Amino acid sequence: MELVKYLNLGRIPYRQAWSLQEQLLRELVDRKLANRQRLGAGLPALPQTHYLLFCEHPPVYTLGKSGAMTNLLLSEAELEANGFEFFRINRGGDITYHGPGQIVGYPIFDLDNFFTDVHRYVRYLEEAVIRTLAEYGLQAGREQGYTGVWLDADHNRPKRKICAIGVHLSRWVTMHGFAFNVNTNLMHFRYIIPCGIADNDKTVTSLQQELGHPLDMDEVREKLRAHFSRLFNFQWAN
């Protein structure tokens, strides 16, 4: 069974978290390559430890490698005036927002030790959030043709996205991940076309918005990481 080290980074600047992800990804890739050499020389492989990083960010917009700048509705001067950072990054997907009250998750997993299937990996990220929402009485799911976690439309509200997903892999080691809106300020999504989805019948939401009260972030994090360990069938490293 694989070992995963959990790190709650708290509120951390986006660039700092990105740099840490890249460092850990390089460590896992280097260990993987070293183990191939060891096995080729008849030596036992060294254990590989994976990472699950949870954090919150100060307000920031990130644009994936397939995203369009036209989906950012603020100028550089307006971003600065409103206290937002902006980064072009190497994950998949379009533009999204990160900010306080949002659980941002960065799994740094060597999928060679789990399963080499990107689509299955993304479905597992979604499933961890779907199962967490079920513990709060919300029936969430997926929307055909899109990634992320969605709540169905009802007679008052359109279909609502509560978790965005965008990943990057190098030699089957993952980085970036998901952004789960818990107590997130949804007003900040008004300055972008979230995930490049301009459909009038779709919007964004949060757990607080759906339940009508703020949530204990630590409680949500613990439920979420428990579902991660069950889905990926790993043990927590000390």
Q: Residues with catalytic annotation?
A: 195
Structure tokens at 23: 């460092």
- Burial classification of residue 155, based on how many CB atoms lie within 10 Å of its CB (0-12 exposed, 13-18 middle, 19 or more buried): exposed
DSSP characters for 54-109?
Answer: EEE-SSEEEE-TT--GGGB-S-HHHHHHTT-EEEE-SSSSSEEEE-TTEEEEEEE-
| H or E element in which residue 22 lies | helix 14-40
Structure tokens at 91: 């994950």
Contact, 20 vs 55, CB < 8 A?
no
